[in-house]
């Protein structure tokens, strides 16, 4: 699945409606109901969930395995459940998928809160903090004081690629700034 989806989604708001549907709004586009036919969004979400939240992805695949013969319905079910559990409230001031493509989870009102066996797995999932070798190379250079242009030149990458890796590293380790990245590196004694 990895690498198949080239479209990126930014500034997206999801919310649940009483009948169980999930609505979504992409900035500057009309409000829509999430449907099986939303293949680009569903494909992007499947890839993002599997990469960023592998435990949640594995559990969702297990829960909906009965639907796996119908791939479109299977993937739709996984994305819909993930959205219902993590992005259920309408908030027009803070997008659920921000301008960098990061997920911004919300406290969703759920009657099973505190009793659900999938809390901490599907709802409020644990992120994948395993860094790729390329991310470790970039992380090391950031800690050594290289700026984006210098890293791009050192590793023969484009600046947007370096910036994307830097944002992925920050997301994976749960920090927002380069200073926090350096502190994380030092506190975890990376070599």
* The pLDDT of residue 108: 81
pLDDT of res. 189: 62
Q: What local confidence, expressed as pLDDT, does residue 1 receive?
A: 44
pLDDT at site 105: 85
Phi, psi of 23 (to 5 degrees): -100, 155
Series of mean pLDDT values for 10-residue runs along the chain (191 residues): 55 91 91 95 93 93 94 96 89 82 81 80 84 92 94 94 91 86 80 50
| Opening angle at CA 167, ends 9 and 157, nearest 5 | 100
Sorted by sequence, the CB contacts under 8 Å of residue 90 that are 6+ apart come out as 13, 15
- Quick one: pLDDT at residue 50? 92
Distance from C-alpha of 36 to C-alpha of 191, rounded to nearest angstrom: 46
CATH number at residue 169: 1.10.10.10
Does 91 lie in the same domain as 41?
Answer: yes
- What is the reported pLDDT for 116? 82
What is the reported pLDDT for 3?
43
* 106 and 15 in a common domain: yes
d(CA 159, CA 157): 6
- Point out the domain boundary residue: 128, 147, 164: 128
**Containing structural domain, residue 183:** 133-187
Q: What integer pLDDT is reported at residue 110 of this predicted model?
A: 76
Residue with tokens 């919310």: 15
Count of structural domains within the chain:
2
Predicted TM-score of the model (pTM): 0.73
Domain boundary among 85, 107, 128: 128
């Amino acid at each position: 699945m990895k690498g198949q989806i080239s479209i990126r989604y930014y500034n997206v708001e999801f919310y649940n409606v009483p009948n169980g549907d999930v609505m979504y709004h992409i900035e500057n586009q009309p409000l829509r109901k999430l449907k099986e036919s939303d293949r680009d969004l569903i494909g992007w979400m499947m890839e993002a969930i599997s990469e960023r939240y592998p435990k949640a992805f594995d559990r969702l695949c297990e829960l909906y395995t009965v639907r796996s013969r119908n791939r479109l319905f299977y993937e739709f079910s996984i994305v819909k459940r993930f959205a219902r559990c993590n992005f259920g409230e309408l908030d027009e001031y803070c997008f659920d998928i921000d301008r960098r493509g990061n997920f911004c989870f919300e406290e969703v009102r759920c009657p099973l809160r505190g009793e659900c066996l999938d809390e901490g797995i599907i709802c409020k999932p644990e992120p994948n903090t395993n860094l790729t070798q390329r991310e470790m190379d970039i992380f090391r250079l950031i800690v050594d004081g290289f700026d984006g242009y210098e890293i791009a030149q050192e590793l023969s990458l484009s600046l947007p690629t370096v910036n994307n890796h830097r944002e992925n590293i920050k997301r994976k380790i749960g920090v927002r700034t380069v200073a926090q990245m350096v502190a994380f590196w030092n506190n975890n004694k990376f070599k």
